[in-house]
Amino acid sequence: MLLAAVLVGEITGLALARTLTPNPAGSAAPAAPAVVAAPASVPDSAVGGIQARPAAALVDASRDAVAVSANAARVRKSVATGRPATQPASPARSTTTAAKTSTTAQAKTSSPSYRGRNRVWIPALGMNRAVSPFPCSRTRPPDNLTYRWGCAGRNNVYLMGHSYSVFKPLHDAYVGGRLKKGMKVIYADGAGRVHAYSVIWWRVVKPTTAASWAWAAQSRPSMTLQTCAGARSESRLMVRLVQVG
């Protein structure tokens, strides 16, 4: 053991002497690590379009080097003491977690919310309209508004509007082939209850009592959309939906 102690002392002394011995005259001193300054601008053609790292990236690299050095010191200490070294939290992992949290919060914030009274939304057509009552006893023609017709039976939310104005997006979607089964319509009634409906079919009919099935009572919560169709608005487009939410 005495011999081992002597050997350890000699090895340590040699290491210290090599570290502290000055450079002989005429020899160049070790060059300090070069600090690369970020260029003010880099042309697009530089290195095949690959841009040099900005100054912020150099600062991050310097911090990473310090972190690696600190971790190495912890490992040496753990070997000497026999205790496990504690590792600091990974900055990259923390950054990734924060980014995921931010993305989730943004998605929740940007999700649509429908609230109100007497209002209809058709998101696929960009429609967001107030709904006015149209009593079954009214004889005056409809104005340029979206109406809920009072003649419709139970379980049938009957909305109608002119094809040249308030229901033009619906008319144009039919003519252009963009009216699809499954298209969603959101409706808020007079009490503020909001429900979603889905298109199941549509028909073009003449404006006669033969189309009374369109405003008849339904066996399940449903909706009917009515607007004009035809070159001279001589027909009616009837779109039937069922409640899905």
* CA distance to 19, 32, 94, per residue, from 29 (Å): 13, 9, 41
Find where tokens 């340029």 sit: 144
Query: What's the pLDDT tens digit per position in 157-189?
Result: 999 999 999 999 999 999 999 999 999 999 999
How many Å apart are CA 1 and CA 113, to the nearest integer? 79
Domains of the chain, CATH where assigned: 119-243 (2.40.260.10)
Range name among 100-109, 119-128, 131-140 with the lowest pLDDT average = 100-109
pLDDT, residue 222, reads: 98
Cβ atoms of 194 and 114 within 8 Å: the answer is: yes
**How far, rounded to the nearest angstrom, does the alpha carbon of residue 85 sit from its chain's CA centroid?**
41
Helix H or strand E segment including 15:
helix 2-20
Tens digit of pLDDT for each residue in 177-233?
Answer: 999 999 999 999 999 999 999 999 999 999 999 999 999 999 999 999 999 999 999
CB under 8 A, 24+ apart: contacts of 30-33: none
Q: Is the pTM of this model over 0.75?
A: no
